[in-house]
């Protein structure tokens, strides 16, 4: 008995020691956590909202694409947004794509075809750096390449709630998180802009969105917040185009495994009934 | 599993049901493992139709273009070649097909073929062999000026790809002319 | 694998075969007639789960290789090609990447079970050491595989891990250059890592065969830690153990499928969706979750060489466990004091894992140092002393006696389902 008390005391003191150490280690949170948004694609039965994706694509095409490429997404993929093959052909033809060499050995430009990929609007990273004061990241997987720390215990709950929208919450927050002026005492470097949610706050990208900048034909509000939501949803689709089928197959697999596990459980009971 | 001939009782039923469900699941799991070897979406998209300008092809010339990774022969036939292809008796052919069935109506001079020997997949050489059509260097199959097999181990004529005339001097390979069919 | 078994070939062909290559007899004696203790609980099903996962990883891995390009300029692109264009490519890749994590979940439980029930003790020392070797091979394979997508974490993980070897006095730098095939991590590194990532799983298969062989020589341990004495203490592997393993495997697959289909990137890191950039280190670089405790130990030690020694020592010390634990009683069920220290040890390891994911600064480092000291103390001080001072509970005479004792409560359940 005395010994088990000893073990408990040891465990307790170990916990206490480390807990004090943690408390000392907790650094002040400079960057606030992005607020949670409602996304149509979250959860086990999540679906992309086609209308939203098309609006988001419009924002990308008219605003973001000036600086940001999307090299892993092909025009043909846009049929998933609800566009017809003809519409996709027309969209592809709006872009110029380099092809070649032709019979004379020259590279040439031609209209895009559905099989082509979204072009990157700069020649190479050095050119981008010279022009934009940084390399605008490619949009293809950006929604999966961004995120934030959820912290204990939330990261454990996230397994069960299937919260996976760290990236889109962050990007949305970034879009609406610009401040006209940096807070007093913050030394904003030349050519940077102050953003609440960007790590370090000084971001090289000027505020890209403003109210009424992009026309919507479906009557959705033409506000920065709506643009941010739509383009972020579009980016999620670009990063994870097979999400809907993944979740659908996932549900079927779950049902199957539950049935199989149930059958195996009773089969196991029958088999072991002989052994007792 | 006891192989008894009597009708299965409830216990056997449970085992059979479990085994069946497990087998169905295993078979379903094989689907992605097998399907992944089929052409992927980018390969299928890259197989989109290609357009070829016929203008620069001189009479008597055969050019080679690629569609879906396959060589396509476009032959601008001379009068003599067309005549030779037409005068042969169909009964004497291993794979009988009339020459006018192998070209588009009114475009007798343009012969478009998939340039893959129907024997074992080599690319035949143009203007060679006994019929001045094609000759396959791998195993000696001989094709005539209509791309039909005449001698050698190949069983079939050179196949025709789907294509259509966009104008007199332009074709699109990979798309059948749906208007006239 | 007790040589000539009770296997009776039925057909003429099998009789013919059995005289020439008795593989059916070997399978029969190893996986059908093989006696297993009848009191094994579900913690013993993880060996089967691990076998299943090894097979699944090899199958999905071989398929991914059909579409992947091991070149610094194309690796990231080819992974995106798999995710977007290949038929079910997204499924195969998520199965493989999450399968690696599931593999470690299962192996940690498998190891913890061995530690709790004293499965490493005489005569199972070689069985245990083979297990430690398998674990090391798994860690190497997992690390090599994580570099292949050539994202930021791949690249910088490869840089940090290979730099461990720069801590070796005198030849360290040359060894690292040799590992890289250059003066930094680059395309030659990726190509050799790819080759080795393909090779090691088959080495694992080979050691698994030895592991199973050793297991079948000494027999399975069981929750009482008392060796089976009579036929009453055991049941045949098939159908009893196979159906139980099968049931649990289906349950395990539910967890696996949950991650694959619903939160496939949860166990990964967002930075690995950024293509490798040799000019920029991610702000907060962490290894995969399964290395985190060891990563915390590495960072807890202020000296470079000592840190690396401590990291490898923390894994290597497992191989000496059979001799560090001086108690002659196997199962923690009969060792009240050890049982508490076991759970403290588990908590300490989890704590180290959590610290490994935190930045190495201030209080986190102090906490990691305390837990690192405890980690080693558990093996070097606590286990040897416990064996001498602990008063253990009386062991049952046999497995069947232990079952009879507890059956007053549990025997009601199986009879009820018979009706």
Q: Which two tokens stand for residue C70?
A: 């091991």
Indicate yes or no: CB of A256 within 8 angstroms of CB of B28.
Answer: yes
Mean pLDDT score across all residues of chain A: 90
Nearest neighbour of B40 by CB, restricted to C59, C86, C246: C86
Sign of CA dihedral B160, B162, B166, B172: negative
Instruction: Say how many domains are in chain A.
Output: 2
Indicate yes or no: CB of C247 within 8 angstroms of CB of A267.
Answer: yes
- Decide if A52 touches C, using CB distance below 8 A: no
C74 vs A contacts (CB less than 8 Å): none
Q: Is it the case that residue C181 has pLDDT exceeding 90?
A: yes
Neighbours of chain B (3+ CB pairs under 8 A): A, C
In this prediction, residue B6 carries a pLDDT of 53
In this prediction, residue C1 carries a pLDDT of 41
What is the arithmetic mean of pLDDT over C176-195?
97
Q: Which two tokens stand for residue A74?
A: 């092909």
Nearest neighbour of B32 by CB, restricted to C84, C85, C91: C91
Nearest neighbour of C89 by CB, restricted to B22, B31, B36: B36
SS (H, E, C) chain B: CCCCCCCCCHHHHHHHHHHHHHHHHHHHHHHHHHHCCCCCHHHHHHCCCEEEECCCCCCCCEEEEEECCEEEEEEECCHHHHHHHHHCCHHHCCCCCCHHHCCCCCCCCEEEEECCCCCCCCCCEECCCCCCCEECCCCCCEECCCCCEEECCCCCCCCCCCEEEEECCEEEECCCCCCCC
Q: Which two tokens stand for residue C103?
A: 């593999």
Largest interatomic CA distance in chain A: 92
Q: How far apart are the first and last CA of chain A?
A: 36
Ranges in chain B, pLDDT < 50: 1-5, 180-181
Q: Is it the case that residue C2 has pLDDT exceeding 90?
A: no
- Decide if B42 touches A, using CB distance below 8 A: yes
Confirm whether A48 is domain-assigned. yes
In this prediction, residue A101 carries a pLDDT of 86
A242 vs C contacts (CB less than 8 Å): 83-84, 90
- Decide if A217 touches C, using CB distance below 8 A: no
A74 vs B contacts (CB less than 8 Å): 42, 45
Q: Among residues 65-124 of chain A, which lie with CB inside 8 Å of chain B? A: 74, 76, 113-115
Bridge partners (DSSP) of residue B113 are B73
d(CA A2, CA C58): 51
Neighbours of chain C (3+ CB pairs under 8 A): A, B
Indicate yes or no: CB of B18 within 8 angstroms of CB of A115.
Answer: no
Local structure of A164: helix, strand or coil: coil
Local structure of A205: helix, strand or coil: coil
Confidence of residue C117 (pLDDT cuts 50, 70, 90): very high
pLDDT tens digits for C48-82?
Answer: 999 999 999 999 999 999 999 999 999 999 999 99
**Would residue C275 be called left, alpha or beta, if left means φ above 0 and alpha means ψ between -120 and 50 degrees?**
beta
Q: Smallest CA–CA separation between B41 and chain A, in Å?
A: 9
Strands B163-167 and B149-151: unpaired
What is the arithmetic mean of pLDDT over C394-415?
71
Q: Is it the case that residue A27 has pLDDT exceeding 70?
A: no
Please give the CATH topology (third level) of the domain spanning C26-282: Cytochrome Bc1 Complex; Chain C (1.20.810)
In this prediction, residue B109 carries a pLDDT of 94
d(CA B149, CA B132): 12
Confirm whether A240 is domain-assigned. yes
pLDDT tens digits for C360-378?
Answer: 888 999 999 999 999 999 9
ipTM: 0.91
Whether residue C117 contacts residue C225, with contact meaning beta carbons closer than 8 Å, is answered with: yes
Chains A–B, number of C-beta pairs less than 8 Å apart: 34
- Decide if A253 touches C, using CB distance below 8 A: yes
Q: Is it the case that residue A213 has pLDDT exceeding 90?
A: yes
Closest CA to C294 of C304, C285, C306, C307: C307
pLDDT tens digits for C261-304?
Answer: 999 999 999 999 999 999 999 988 899 999 999 999 999 999 99
Q: Smallest CA–CA separation between B108 and chain A, in Å?
A: 27
In this prediction, residue C7 carries a pLDDT of 86
What is the arithmetic mean of pLDDT over A235-256?
97
Confirm whether A89 is domain-assigned. yes
Q: Is it the case that residue C246 has pLDDT exceeding 80?
A: yes
Residue of chain C whose Cα is closest to the Cα of A146 = C270
Local structure of A166: helix, strand or coil: helix
pLDDT tens digits for A85-97?
Answer: 999 999 999 999 9
Sign of CA dihedral B160, B163, B164, B169: negative
Rounded to 5 degrees, what are φ and ψ at B68?
55, 35
What is the arithmetic mean of pLDDT over C157-173?
94
d(CA C361, CA A26): 9
To probe the interface with A, which of C84, C94, C232 has the most A CB atoms within 10 Å?
C84
Residues A195 and A165 in one domain: yes
Nearest neighbour of C92 by CB, restricted to B36, B38, B41: B36
Percent of chain C whose pLDDT exceeds 90? 90
Q: Which residues of A188-227 are buried (b: 16+ CB within 10 A; e: fewer)?
A: eeeebbbbebbeebbbebebbbeeeebebeeeeeeebebb
Local structure of C191: helix, strand or coil: helix
Q: What letter does residue C381 receive in the DSSP assignment?
A: I
- Give the alpha-carbon dihedral of C13, C17, C19, C25, to 10 degrees: -110
- Tell me the C-alpha to C-alpha distance, in Å, between residue B70 and each of B115, B157, B167: 7, 16, 24
Q: Is it the case that residue C4 has pLDDT exceeding 60?
A: no
C228 vs A contacts (CB less than 8 Å): none
Q: What letter does residue A179 receive in the DSSP assignment?
A: E
To probe the interface with B, which of A250, A270, A272 has the most B CB atoms within 10 Å?
A270
CATH dotted code for C286-398: 1.10.287.980
Q: Smallest CA–CA separation between A168 and chain B, in Å?
A: 27
Q: Smallest CA–CA separation between C12 and chain A, in Å?
A: 31
How do the domains of chain B map onto residue ranges?
1-38, 46-173
In this prediction, residue A205 carries a pLDDT of 95
Q: Which two tokens stand for residue A92?
A: 């592809």
Indicate yes or no: CB of A74 within 8 angstroms of CB of B28.
Answer: no
Q: Is it the case that residue A191 has pLDDT exceeding 50?
A: yes
Neighbours of chain A (3+ CB pairs under 8 A): B, C
Residues A111 and A217 in one domain: no
- Tell me the C-alpha to C-alpha distance, in Å, between residue C385 and each of A10, C124, C382: 15, 22, 5
Whether residue B107 contacts residue B170, with contact meaning beta carbons closer than 8 Å, is answered with: no
Bridge partners (DSSP) of residue C23 are none
B22 vs C contacts (CB less than 8 Å): 246
Whether residue A85 contacts residue A132, with contact meaning beta carbons closer than 8 Å, is answered with: no
Rounded to 5 degrees, what are φ and ψ at A184?
-55, 135
DSSP A51-112: HHHHHHHHHHHHTGGGT---TT-BGGGGGGGT--HHHHHHHHHTSEEEE---TTS--EEEE-
Place of tokens 């689709």: A237
Q: Smallest CA–CA separation between C194 and chain A, in Å?
A: 23
Indicate yes or no: CB of B25 within 8 angstroms of CB of A260.
Answer: yes
d(CA C211, CA C200): 16
Strands A178-179 and A193-195: antiparallel
How do the domains of chain C map onto residue ranges?
26-282, 286-398
Residues A224 and A92 in one domain: no
Confirm whether A159 is domain-assigned. yes
Local structure of C36: helix, strand or coil: strand
Residue of chain A whose Cα is closest to the Cα of B25 = A256
C89 vs B contacts (CB less than 8 Å): 36, 40
What is the arithmetic mean of pLDDT over A143-172?
93
Mean pLDDT score across all residues of chain C: 93
Q: Is it the case that residue C106 has pLDDT exceeding 80?
A: yes
d(CA C269, CA C292): 13
Among chain B, residues having any CB pair with chain C shorter than 8 Å are 22, 31-33, 35-38, 40-43
Confidence of residue A10 (pLDDT cuts 50, 70, 90): low
Residue of chain A whose Cα is closest to the Cα of C264 = A164
In this prediction, residue B2 carries a pLDDT of 46
Show the domain range for A103.
Answer: 84-116
Local structure of C234: helix, strand or coil: strand
The domain that holds A53 is classified in CATH as: 1.10.760.10
In this prediction, residue A15 carries a pLDDT of 61
Strands B70-76 and A202-203: unpaired
Indicate yes or no: CB of A115 within 8 angstroms of CB of B42.
Answer: yes
Residues A58 and A157 in one domain: yes
Query: Looking at domain B46-173, which CATH architecture does it have?
Result: 3-layer Sandwich (2.102)
- Decide if B3 touches A, using CB distance below 8 A: no
Confirm whether A9 is domain-assigned. no
Residues A95 and A153 in one domain: no
Residues of B serving a catalytic function are 139
Q: Is it the case that residue A185 has pLDDT exceeding 70?
A: yes
Closest CA to B57 of B99, B103, B111: B111
- Decide if B46 touches A, using CB distance below 8 A: yes
d(CA A13, CA A11): 6
- Decide if A152 touches C, using CB distance below 8 A: yes
């Amino acid at each position: 008995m005395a010994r088990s008390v000893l073990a408990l005391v040891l465990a307790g003191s170990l916990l206490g020691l480390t807990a004090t150490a943690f408390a000392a280690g907790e650094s002040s949170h400079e960057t606030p956590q992005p607020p949670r948004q409602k996304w149509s694609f979250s959860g086990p039965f999540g679906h992309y909202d086609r209308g939203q994706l098309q609006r988001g694509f419009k924002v990308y095409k008219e605003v973001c694409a000036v600086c940001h490429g999307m090299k892993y997404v092909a025009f043909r993929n846009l049929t998933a947004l609800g566009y017809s093959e003809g519409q996709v052909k027309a969209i592809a033809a709006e872009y110029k794509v380099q092809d070649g060499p032709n019979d004379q050995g020259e590279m040439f430009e031609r209209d895009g075809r559905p099989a082509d990929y979204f072009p990157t609007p700069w020649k190479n990273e050095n050119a981008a750096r010279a022009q934009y004061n940084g390399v605008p990241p490619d949009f293809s997987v950006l929604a999966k390449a961004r995120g934030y720390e959820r912290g204990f215990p939330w990261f454990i709950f996230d397994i069960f709630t299937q919260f996976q929208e760290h990236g889109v919450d962050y990007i949305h927050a970034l879009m609406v998180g610009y401040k006209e002026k940096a807070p007093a005492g913050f030394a904003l470097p030349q050519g940077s802009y102050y953003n609440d949610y960007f790590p370090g706050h000084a971001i090289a990208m000027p505020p890209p969105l403003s109210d009424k900048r992009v026309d919507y034909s479906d009557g959705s509000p033409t506000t920065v917040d709506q643009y941010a939501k739509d383009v972020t949803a579009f980016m999620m689709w670009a990063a994870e185009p097979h999400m809907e089928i993944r979740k659908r197959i996932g549900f079927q697999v779950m049902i199957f495994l539950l049935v199989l596990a149930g059958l195996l459980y009773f089969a196991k009971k029958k088999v072991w009934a002989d052994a007792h | 599993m006891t192989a008894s001939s009597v009708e299965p009782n409830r216990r056997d039923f449970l085992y059979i049901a479990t085994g069946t469900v497990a087998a169905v699941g295993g078979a379903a799991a094989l689907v992605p493992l097998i399907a992944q070897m089929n052409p992927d979406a980018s390969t299928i998209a890259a197989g989109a139709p290609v357009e070829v300008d016929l203008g620069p092809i001189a009479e008597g010339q055969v050019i080679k273009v690629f569609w879906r990774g396959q060589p396509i022969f476009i032959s601008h036939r001379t009068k003599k070649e067309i005549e030779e292809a037409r005068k042969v008796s169909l009964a004497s052919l291993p794979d009988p097909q009339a020459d006018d069935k192998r070209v588009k109506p009114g475009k007798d001079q343009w012969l478009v073929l998939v340039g893959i020997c129907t024997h074992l997949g080599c690319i035949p050489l143009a203007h060679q062999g006994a019929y001045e059509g094609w000759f396959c260097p791998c195993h000696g199959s001989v094709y005539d000026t209509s791309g039909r097999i005449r001698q050698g181990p190949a069983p079939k004529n050179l196949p025709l790809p789907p294509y259509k005339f966009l104008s007199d001097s332009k074709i699109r390979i990979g798309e059948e002319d749906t208007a006239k069919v | 694998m007790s040589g000539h078994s009770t296997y009776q070939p039925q057909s003429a062909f099998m009789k013919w075969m059995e005289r020439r290559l008795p593989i059916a007899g070997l399978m029969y004696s190893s996986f059908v007639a093989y006696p297993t203790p009848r009191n094994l609980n579900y913690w013993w099903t993880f060996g089967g789960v691990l076998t299943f996962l090894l097979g699944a990883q090899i199958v999905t891995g071989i398929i991914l290789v059909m579409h992947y390009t091991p070149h610094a300029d194309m690796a990231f692109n080819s992974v995106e090609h798999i995710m977007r264009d290949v038929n079910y490519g997204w499924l195969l890749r998520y199965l493989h990447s999450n399968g690696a994590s599931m593999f470690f979940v299962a192996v940690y439980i498998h190891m913890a079970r061995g530690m709790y029930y004293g499965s490493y003790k005489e005569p199972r020392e070689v069985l245990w050491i083979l297990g430690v070797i398998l674990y090391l091979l798994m860690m190497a394979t997992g690390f090599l595989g994580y570099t292949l997508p050539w994202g930021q974490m791949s690249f910088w993980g490869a840089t940090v891990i290979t730099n461990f070897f720069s801590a070796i006095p005198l030849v360290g730098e040359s060894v690292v250059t040799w590992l890289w095939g250059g003066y930094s991590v680059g395309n030659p590194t990726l190509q050799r890592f790819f080759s080795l990532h393909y090779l090691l799983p088959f080495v694992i298969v080979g050691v698994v065969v030895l592991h199973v062989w050793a297991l079948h020589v000494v027999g399975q341990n069981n929750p009482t830690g008392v060796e089976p004495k009579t036929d009453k203490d055991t049941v045949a592997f098939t159908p009893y153990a196979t159906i139980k393993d099968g049931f649990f495997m289906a349950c395990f697959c539910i967890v696996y499928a949950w991650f694959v289909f619903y939160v496939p990137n949860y166990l990964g890191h967002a930075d690995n969706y950024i293509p490798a950039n040799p000019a920029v280190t991610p702000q907060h670089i962490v290894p995969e979750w399964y290395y985190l405790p060891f990563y915390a130990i590495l960072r807890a030690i202020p000296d470079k060489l000592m840190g690396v020694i401590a990291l490898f020592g923390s894994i290597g010390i497992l191989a000496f466990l059979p001799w560090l634990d001086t108690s002659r009683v196997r199962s923690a069920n009969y060792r009240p004091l050890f049982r508490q220290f076991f759970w403290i040890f588990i908590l300490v390891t989890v704590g180290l894992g959590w610290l490994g994911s935190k930045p190495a600064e201030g209080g986190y480092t102090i906490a990691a140092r305390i837990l690192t000291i405890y980690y080693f103390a558990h093996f070097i001080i606590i286990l040897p002393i416990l064996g001498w001072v602990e008063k253990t509970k009386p062991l049952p005479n046999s497995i069947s006696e232990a079952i009879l004792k507890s059956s007053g409560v549990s025997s009601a359940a199986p009879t009820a389902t018979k009706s």
